[in-house]
Amino acid sequence: MGVLGDPPFEFTSYFWAGTVFEDALTRAGLLDLTRHKTVAPQDDRPPGFWDLLLRNPSFAVFSARNPT
């Protein structure tokens, strides 16, 4: 994936199934794990602009509790 910046740079991006993260966090001992819904910003972009992101998000936000 290329990023236009100063200077431009590239990186490799991997898309893992959601269960991979949830399983790893659970194996690490975290409790009450919640994966939060991906939401699109309310902005002036045309209808459908965020549809691809919402169908296949490239990030996830989790919350959990440390048992100690």
The parent domain of residue 23 ranges over 17-65
Domain count, the chain: 1
Q: Is the omega angle on the peptide bond into residue 47 within 30 degrees of 0, that is, cis?
A: no
Residue 34, C-beta contacts closer than 8 angstroms, at least 6 positions apart = 62, 63, 64
pLDDT of 66 reads 95
Residue 41, C-beta contacts closer than 8 angstroms, at least 6 positions apart = 50
Is pLDDT of 4 > 90?
Answer: no
Quick one: pLDDT band at residue 59, thresholds 50, 70, 90?
A: confident
pLDDT of 33 reads 95
Look at residue 10 and tell me if it is in a domain.
Answer: no
Look at residue 5 and tell me if it is in a domain.
Answer: no
Quick one: pLDDT band at residue 65, thresholds 50, 70, 90?
A: very high
pLDDT in tens, 5-55: 788 888 887 777 778 999 999 999 999 999 999 999 999 999 999 999 898
